[in-house]
Amino acid sequence: MFSLMRVFGLLLIYFYSQVGAVTFKEFPPQIVKESIEVQIPCSHDDNAKLQMLWYQQKKDSQSMTLIGFVYGQGSPTYEGQFEQQFKLTKEETTKGKLIIRSANPSDSAVYFCAATDNNAQPAYFGQGTKLTVLEKDHATKKPTVKVLPPSTKECRNKINPDKRKKTLLCVASEFYPDHVKVSWEVNGAKRVVGVATDNQASRPGSGANYKITSRLRVPAEEWFNPNNKFECIVNFYDGTATEDIKKIKYGVEAPDTGNTMNKETYLRKSQIGKLAYGVLITKSFVYGAFVMLVVWKLQGSSGKRNN
């Protein structure tokens, strides 16, 4: 029996995808109804890799489970009870299939095909094929998308205004199943820097629809420009076709912080300044005259005493 621990040891050290001597052909994801037979193909370009392995990775799991393998054109070897649900076939050295005899929602997962010379050699992995088995009475539904503008209170950096940032939030909700990808564009150009998207779509419970969020963080001066266009693009696959659902949010005018003045305000403040200056000059003149009067009186009194 093939050692599961040994396989995981190889997996941790030699996880390759389309590198080195092996290039795997990519196959599209599948969305199927319950109780039907599902075939997931595998194809690569290295005839020297005689052993083909299959793994299953369930959602919310960080590890993969070995289903089984086929060496050369021999009979398949399965781990545990997988033979009851799965069937492994090989048409030739570089081509094979994983067959799910009667799919049910618990089979929803990403299935990886790997190739190696033998158990002691590196295993090379493909990108994986995502399979979703639709839950009973739950039809596919495309997402509702909306983009929320940044908070007006976000990041008021008074020490370093150049580092002020604003965050736009894209929310895609009420979709099923979870075959979505989210991306951002600014003025028609793809934006990667400052983008943070949920690792995967989430749902509140079984039977509910999915939701995913993505955030775009941009410099404040970029947001405070009505000519800038921020676009969230949600790519949704319903099993037969892919659709892009887009939502746009435009930048806004910078808020009035009270530091700018129009002509009327400027003239009014100028007049107030001139009046204040005039009052100050008048007070200074009066004070000077008073001081001179006091000095004159003191001098007059001193002269009388001397006589």
- What is the tens place of the pLDDT at every residue in 51-92? 999 999 998 888 999 999 999 989 999 999 999 999 999 999
Q: Phi first, then psi: what are they for 146, rounded to 5°?
A: -145, 150
Q: Which residues of 131-145 are buried (b: 16+ CB within 10 A; e: fewer)?
A: bbbbbeeeebebbeb
Q: Which of residues 133, 152, 167 is at a domain's end?
A: 133
Q: Is the pLDDT of residue 275 over 90?
A: no
* Identity of the amino acid at 102: S
Q: Is the pLDDT of residue 261 over 60?
A: no
Pair (14, 105) in one structural domain: yes
Record the tokens describing residue 105, joined without a space. 């929602």
Q: Is 60 exposed, middle or buried (0-12, 13-18, 19+ CB in 10 A)?
A: exposed
Within-domain flag for 303: no
Asked if 120 and 150 touch (Cβ cutoff 8 Å), the reply is no
Record the tokens describing residue 89, joined without a space. 């076939």
Asked if 171 and 62 touch (Cβ cutoff 8 Å), the reply is no
Pair (17, 122) in one structural domain: yes
Q: How far, rounded to the nearest angstrom, does the alpha carbon of residue 74 sit from its chain's CA centroid?
A: 44
Pair (14, 129) in one structural domain: yes
pLDDT, residue 269, reads 54
Asked if 73 and 90 touch (Cβ cutoff 8 Å), the reply is yes
Q: Phi first, then psi: what are they for 28, rounded to 5°?
A: -70, 160
Pair (111, 178) in one structural domain: no
Pair (115, 191) in one structural domain: no
pLDDT, residue 257, reads 60
Q: Which of residues 133, 160, 184 is at a domain's end?
A: 133
Which of 29, 17, 28, 24 has the alpha carbon at shortest distance from 46? Answer: 24
Q: Rounded to whole angstroms, how far apart are CA atoms 166 and 152?
A: 9
Pair (129, 9) in one structural domain: yes
pLDDT, residue 60, reads 84
**Which secondary structure element, helix H or strand E, spans residue 280, and what is its range?**
helix 263-306
Q: Cis before residue 76, ω within 30 degrees of 0?
A: no
Q: Rounded to whole angstroms, how far apart are CA atoms 63 and 106?
A: 16
Among 185-189, 199-203, 271-275, the range scoring the smallest mean pLDDT is 271-275
Asked if 29 and 132 touch (Cβ cutoff 8 Å), the reply is yes
Within-domain flag for 167: yes
Confidence of residue 137 (pLDDT cuts 50, 70, 90): confident
Pair (101, 64) in one structural domain: yes
Q: Rounded to whole angstroms, how far apart are CA atoms 34 and 53?
A: 25
Within-domain flag for 301: no
Pair (14, 116) in one structural domain: yes
Maximum distance among all alpha carbons in the chain? 141
Q: Residue written as tokens 């604003």?
A: 166
**Which secondary structure element, helix H or strand E, spans residue 185, and what is its range?**
strand 180-186
Pair (129, 148) in one structural domain: no
Pair (16, 110) in one structural domain: yes
Within-domain flag for 300: no
Confidence of residue 124 (pLDDT cuts 50, 70, 90): very high
**Highest mean pLDDT: which range of 35-39, 59-63, 261-265:** 35-39
Pair (123, 89) in one structural domain: yes
Question: CATH code at 29?
Answer: 2.60.40.10
Within-domain flag for 224: yes
Region class of 291: left (phi > 0), else alpha (psi between -120 and 50), else beta: alpha
pLDDT, residue 218, reads 97
Range of the domain at 57: 4-133
Within-domain flag for 177: yes
Pair (240, 267) in one structural domain: no
What total of structural domains would you count in the chain?
3
Within-domain flag for 304: no
Q: Which of residues 133, 154, 180 is at a domain's end?
A: 133
The CA–CA distances, whole Å, from 92 to 2, 41, 46, 265 equal 21, 12, 11, 84
Within-domain flag for 229: yes
